[in-house]
Structure formats: structure tokens, C-alpha cells
Homo-oligomer: A and B are copies of this chain.
Amino acid sequence: MERKSKATLEDIARATGVSKMTVSRVLRGGSGFSGETRDRVIAAADRMAYVPNRLAAAFSSVEASTLVGMCVPRLTSGLFGHVLDGVDRALTRLGYQVMIGCNNHELAEEEAWLRQVVTWRPAGVILSGRSHTAGAVELLQNAGTPVVEIWDLTTSPIDMSVGFSHFDCGIEIGQFLIRKGRRRAGYVGASSRADVMGQARMEGFATALSRAGFPLIDSEVLLDSPGFYAGYYGLETLLTRCPDLDVVYFHNDEMAIGGLAFCQQRGIRVPEDLGIVGWGGMEAASVLPRRLTTTIVPTTLIGKLAAEALVARLKGEPVQDVTVIATRLVAGETG
């Protein structure tokens, strides 16, 4: 497979009898040329199957980059798939390209990814979470590009932040369950060391319960990926230790569905014998026989707003540093 077409601005310029600067101006659609030249240039570019070289463009002028880096904790998570989709749609529409990365919930991997990404001199970067290594922060500050931290709200972002408080999600669910009369609550999670967000939800949950006078009885946090199996076996382990819990809050919906499966298996009635509460708002959850009690996170919206904030900053438009996203508690039938 050999590169056939390799027309450059120069070639088009020669073919049209103008200078390559004029060609550049025409193709970027600015001003400084007559209608007649424009037509001739465009016709020539078309005929010669001209493919612009954005490498050269981005290289010659920092502002010309249309590359945005986006790093998520996991690519296989349903939630982040939607975030990514929101980002990608918005950025594609606005003429940008997305370079992805996945940090597996490890800050060090995020930094490693960033070190690669900044070599491409991206126009901006979107990160998930508000915790980063010192090296990562320094790298970004030196790069001088706009940065949006999403998902986990921070009031003192590196640059901009679009997200919500995981702690508050936990608080809200805790208060809700107390109102529903639950008194003996447990928590089942699963995460790598560095997952501060699930941790924050659990802490919010525990805080709300304590304030109400019925503290969290026990929790089981597996060092595993937070999926269906972890929910199933996590609940089993927790109930073995504390058989008399009356509600369990899970790290996410996948795990809660695993928990539901365990209950069904053991003949534990939900919600009569045990309440099951998830988090995140997974599509699957809505067609379960009983609607899952959970918190819905507007994932696509977060992605979209993050992308738009980034582009606004790039264009020099005013942007608010912190965008708070509202999550929605769905009462469901399992809590």
C-alpha cells in the first residue's frame, strides 16, 4: 500500500497560480481572497484530493490543535461509556478529535498517560476525578492547556470542573433510607485502592446514618472490579457476618443487581427482608422485575458539558470554573 496522493498547499498553489498562503487562507475559510480565487483553489484542492496535514498546522501554531485528551477510569464501565459518548459527540460536532486513555483507577497510570498525551500538544485535556499525582498536576500546568476535571466535583479545580459530590450522594441515600424506616444498614463495595469516589459515597452514607443515630453496621469492600459477581459474593460475605441487616447500599448498580440475584437465590425477600440500593443509573436496572432504588447520574450530560466548557475556554469565551451537576435519587421498589 503506497501513499498515492500527497498534495500539499504548495502543489495546489502551483496548480492554481497563487501563493500557498492564499491557498491556506482559502481552505481555512478566512478572508483575504476574491471569490474567483476561492473557487479556483477549492476546485484544485478537490481535484487533487488534498488532505490537510494537521500535524504541520498544529506544529506551526499552537492554537491550531484540535486534539483533546480524555482519560477515564475504566473503558468497560457502562457509566463512563456514556460520558465518553457525550464528550465525543460534542467535540466531534465542534471540530475536535478525541484521544482516549484509561487509568484503571490508578493515579500513576493517569500520569503515565498524560506524559504521552502532552507530547501531542493537545488543545485541552479532560480527566476523571479530582485526585492526581503531583507530577500530573505539574505537567498540566507546564503544558498550559485547559483542563476539565469531571465526575468528582472539586471546588478548587486545576482549571475547570464538571461533576457532583459523591459524598452528598451517600448522604442523600442515607437520609432517604432512614426516612423509610431502615435502621441496620450495611455497605458492599469493590474497588482498587485508589477509588476515592466510591469511598466518598460510603462515607456520606455512614455520616447520614450516624447523624440520624443509627450508624452503619458493617461494610464489605472487595479488592475486585465492581461488577455483578462482586455484588453477589460481597453481599453473601456481609450477610454471613451480619445476618440481621435491613438494607444494603452498593458501590454501583451492577453490584446491586448481583446482590439482588443473591437474594433471589437465597429466598431473601426484597425489599421486605432486605433493602437493596445501588448507584449510578444503569439502563439494565430499569427493566428488572422491581425497579432498583438508586441514584441516576446524568452521564452523557456531564460529558457534553465538560466538552463544551473546554471549547468555550479555548475560544476565550467566559466559562464558569465549577459546574455542579444534579443527580437524581430514584426511589424504586427495592429500597
Q: Does chain B have a CB within 8 A of A97?
A: yes
Q: For A119, what are the chain B residues with a Cβ–Cβ distance below 8 Å?
A: 51-55
Q: Does chain B have a CB within 8 A of A58?
A: yes
A116-141 CB contacts (< 8 Å) to partner B: 116-121, 138-139, 141
Q: Does chain B have a CB within 8 A of A5?
A: yes
Which one of A82-90, A204-212, A239-247, A322-330 is at the interface? Answer: A82-90
Verify B54–A286 contact, CB threshold 8 A: no
Q: For A98, what are the chain B residues with a Cβ–Cβ distance below 8 Å?
A: 99-101
Verify B254–A284 contact, CB threshold 8 A: yes
Q: For A227, what are the chain B residues with a Cβ–Cβ distance below 8 Å?
A: 283
A243-296 CB contacts (< 8 Å) to partner B: 254, 257-258, 261, 264-265, 283-284, 286-289
Which among B56, B74, B78 is the interface contact of A59 at CB below 8 angstroms? B56
Q: Does chain B have a CB within 8 A of A36?
A: no
Verify B287–A257 contact, CB threshold 8 A: yes
Q: Does chain B have a CB within 8 A of A144?
A: yes
Given contacts A1-B159, A97-B116, contact A49 B142 (CB under 8 A): yes
Verify B99–A99 contact, CB threshold 8 A: yes
Closest to A69 in B: B97
Given contacts A144-B2, A261-B288, A284-B257, contact A88 B101 (CB under 8 A): yes
Given contacts A56-B59, A141-B1, contact A261 B287 (CB under 8 A): yes
Q: Does chain B have a CB within 8 A of A77?
A: yes
Q: For A284, what are the chain B residues with a Cβ–Cβ distance below 8 Å?
A: 228, 254, 257, 284
Q: How far is the CB of A66 from chain B (nearest CB, A)?
A: 8
Q: For A254, what are the chain B residues with a Cβ–Cβ distance below 8 Å?
A: 283-284
Verify A4–B142 contact, CB threshold 8 A: yes
Closest to A259 in B: B287
Q: What is the bound-complex CA distance between A300 and B65, given in angstroms?
A: 31
Q: What is the bound-complex CA distance between A55 and B100, given in angstroms?
A: 17
Q: For A53, what are the chain B residues with a Cβ–Cβ distance below 8 Å?
A: 59, 119, 121
Verify A55–B287 contact, CB threshold 8 A: no
Q: Does chain B have a CB within 8 A of A143?
A: yes
Q: What is the bound-complex CA distance between A288 and B232, given in angstroms?
A: 11
Q: What is the bound-complex CA distance between A304 and B168, given in angstroms?
A: 39
Q: For A120, what are the chain B residues with a Cβ–Cβ distance below 8 Å?
A: 54-55, 67, 97
Q: For A1, what are the chain B residues with a Cβ–Cβ distance below 8 Å?
A: 141, 144-146, 159
Q: What is the bound-complex CA distance between A315 and B283, given in angstroms?
A: 42
Known A4-B144, A55-B59; 17 more pairs at CB < 8 Å = A49-B142, A53-B119, A55-B121, A67-B120, A75-B84, A75-B85, A76-B81, A88-B101, A92-B102, A97-B101, A97-B120, A228-B286, A228-B287, A229-B287, A257-B287, A261-B288, A264-B289
